[in-house]
Amino acid sequence: NAGVTQTPKFQVLKTGQSMTLQCAQDMNHNSMYWYRQDPGMGLRLIYYSASEGTTDKGEVPNGYNVSRLNKREFSLRLESAAPSQTSVYFCASASVQGIQLSNEQFFGPGTRLTVL
């Protein structure tokens, strides 16, 4: 049982390049989330997917797109990377019933992204 996995672990991009961050969970959770962590700012929600086939914006969605590929996988895409997107990105998953979390969110190990 791997929990939440993320690839890659590290990535360096040049301004304007694109890339996709991958996330997968094996806990049969229906909801998945992307956060970014910046020093002194905690974690901020980028996008989330309440269930397979749905996605919604979070607090800081600009410059990002997401795809909920199936129940297990939720990817985050940067179409044209900017230095402001240098951050650590965390994927999380949770079991949800209606509008309520059934339990806590489970987090992946993170992807450290640097945009030059």
Partner 1 sequence: AQSVAQPEDQVNVAEGNPLTVKCTYSVSGNPYLFWYVQYPNRGLQFLLKYITGDNLVKGSYGFEAEFNKSQTSFHLKKPSALVSDSALYFCAVGRSGGGADGLTFGKGTHLIIQP
CA-to-CA separations, 67 to 36, 83, 93, in angstroms, rounded: 17, 23, 14
Chain position carrying tokens 């979070």: 58
Rank residues 24 and 92 by Cβ distance to partner 1 and give the closer one: 92
Q: Give the integer Cα–Cα distance in Å for 78 and 54.
A: 19
Q: Taking CB under 8 A as the criterion, which residues in 23-52 touch partner 1?
A: 31, 33, 35, 40-45, 48, 50
Rank residues 14 and 40 by Cβ distance to partner 1 and give the closer one: 40
Q: Taking CB under 8 A as the criterion, which residues in 60-89 touch partner 1?
A: none
Rank residues 63 and 109 by Cβ distance to partner 1 and give the closer one: 109
